[in-house]
Structure 1
Amino acid sequence: MKAMILAAGLGTRMRPLTLTTPKPLLEAGGKKLIEYHIERLVAAGIADIVINHAWLGEQIESYLGSGERYGARLRYSAETEPLETGGGIRKALPLLCDEGDEAFLVLNGDLFSTQALTPLVAIRPPAGGAHLVLVDNPAWHADGDFALSCDGRVSEAGDDRLTFSGISILTPGLFAGIEDSAFALAPLLRQAMARGLVSGSRHEGYWEDVGTPDRLRALDQRLRSDVF
């Protein structure tokens, strides 16, 4: 299985920190945020990793290089215009799916998670489907995103609403027939849910959307204190 780290955001909520540094290269616990992802992917046996980038993306390529020092093979999908999440993944599909209709793992670059990735490697959603890792709703997103049923199905509506963690297994068929260059991922997921093609699981371990300077500082303190 290959993986993609989404790192093309402008990081507007992180300003002024991201005026001169792309968000994936911000530090917490003495390490760049994106390095935690790469190390955890490699530990799970996923060494072939695609990283998309836009804002200050040359810094990401310069710092990470080929990935050799992490035991990874890093490839980059540079974006010259805003493509949103769906468009960014679609552009990178040739790097992710050069062996047919193979599922791949996707991680949002602005999250921190201790979720074990090894169990996800064995998940193979049906063609055109997906598997989402969902977390208990944080205070700033109390209504959640999707509902997870007792049989592991994910739907748009339901009683047990949870928040999408930014960790998923996607299939290239999810993007079939899409001609737009820039588009959001959520509408595609909802369409797949309506067809019963999306499964899900609850996140295990610590999770944080590192979207603001305050959350970054809190994560830094946790990592330095080893409090989880």
Structure 2
Amino acid sequence: MSLHAVILAGGYGSRMMPLTTRTPKHLLPIDDEPVIAHQLRRLGAAGVASVTLATAHHAEAFLPALGHGERFGLHLRYTREPEPRGTGGALKHACAGLTLHPDDALVVINGDLLSDHDLAAHVRAHAHAGAPLATIHARPVDDASAFGLLHLDGDRITRFEEKPAGAPAGFVNAGTYVVSPSLLDLIPAGEVVSLERDVFPRAVALDEGVRVYREDARFADIGTPAALLAANLAWARDHVPSDRPNATSVLLGAQVAPTARVERCLVMPGAQIGADAVLTDSVVGPGCVIGDGAHLEGCVLGDGARVSPGLRLADAVLAVDERR
């Protein structure tokens, strides 16, 4: 069996605006590396040798940032959708150039997902289950109303229920899939198709079926500025180097005046924070300039935004290059 992977990275990142005006959300930072670089390292550690990155929006940005995968210990190839085709259509398009044998396996990951689950064990569970059409990472939650609830008979999925009312507890789809090449036969070429809403529900009725790999592991959907900030703060807490004792913020190549106070913030490269400025719970994009004595709370600043000295802002969103 050969193990390949496809990362679905074609989304527009609308919920992440204005940070995605110039940068795809998958290349936004978690500490000093893009979100997708953390995924590539996990795939390499799990034994994946070949990864296809399925891109669309800002597709030209990925190769300069990631190269061909050498530093992650794998080979990285790129595909670009001519138009949005959903997660299923993107997977079909990405696999068109691969030579897959019936006993191979494909790891499929949404490109804005961070998960600490044991991916190698997930792959083994797929093989031990007789290589069903798909094996989905399932994690337990107390409230499934914001997720896709999985109805189970043992480890076999019998039904998918999207965002059920009534806040039931149960196992939900955690966004990492190990699939058999035969799943691709259920995806019509050139059409807009969702894995979650179209392909997997159809697959549960077939003999090979869809299984779950259960693991309660840390999981984050990096789809909003708040989620990006939370993921960075969590990373800082877990990986504080000896020369960065204050992990209340993540400051990536920014210039911060000694008298400024920055708490629970993500400040991206090239940003400048002036004397006596106070920033809390904010995301500051690349190249922003925060004037002396400015106060920001719960703000999101797009690339190159500028805040005047002494200005106070709360829960504000500044567009790319906006001046206040």
Query: What's the TM-score, normalizing by structure 1?
Result: 0.89
**From 174, 192, 196, the counterpart of 1:165:** 174
Aligned to 1:174: 183
In the alignment, structure 1 residue 153 sits paired with structure 2 residue 156: yes
- The offset of 1:101, in angstroms, is 5.3
Matches within 5 A, 1:2-81: 2-81=4-83
CA distance in 2, matches of 1:79, 1:141: 31
Q: How many residue pairs align between the two structures?
A: 226
Report the Cα distance in structure 2 between the residues aligned to 1:72 and 1:101, rounded to whole angstroms.
21
Distance (Å, rounded) in 1 between the aligned partners of 2:76 and 2:120: 19
Kept in 2, the 8 Å contact 1:5–1:49? The answer is: yes
Task: Check whether the contact 1:29–1:223 (CA below 8 A) recurs between aligned residues.
Answer: yes
Q: CA RMSD in A?
A: 2.3
More displaced 10-residue stretch of structure 1: 101-110 or 70-79: 101-110
Runs of at least 5 residues in structure 1 that lack an aligned partner in the other structure: none
Q: Look up the match of 1:189.
A: 200
Comparing 104-113 with 154-163, which one deviates more in the overlay? 154-163
Give the superposition deviation at 1:34: 0.3
TM-aligned CA distance change 1:161 to 1:17, over 3 Å: same
Quick check: 1:130 aligned with 2:142? no
In the alignment, structure 2 segments of 5+ residues that lack a partner are: 162-167, 240-324
Residue pair 1:128, 1:175 contacting (<8 A) in 2 also: no
Higher helix share: 1
Please report the TM-score for the alignment, with normalisation by the length of structure 2.
0.64
Shift of 1:12: 0.6
Identity of aligned residues (%): 32
TM-fit CA distance, 1:181: 2.6
Match of 2:88 in 1: 86
Q: CA deviation at 1:182?
A: 2.0
Superposed displacement of residue 213, structure 1: 0.5
Would the aligned equivalents of 1:52 and 1:76 in 2 still touch at CA under 8 Å?
A: yes
Q: One-letter code of the match for 2:156? A: R
Partner SS for 1:222: helix
- C-alpha distance in 2, partners of 1:219/1:101? 36
SS, match of residue 55 in structure 1: coil
**2:225 aligned residue:** 213
Q: Is the 8 A contact 2:14 2:20 kept in 1?
A: yes
Max radius of gyration: which structure?
2
Rounded to whole Å, the distance in 2 between the matches of 1:66 and 1:202 is 32
Verify the 8 A CA contact 2:85 2:192 in the aligned structure 1: yes
Q: Would you tell me which structure has more strand in proportion to its own residues?
A: 2
Where relative contact order (Cα < 8 A, 6+ residues apart) is larger, the structure is 1
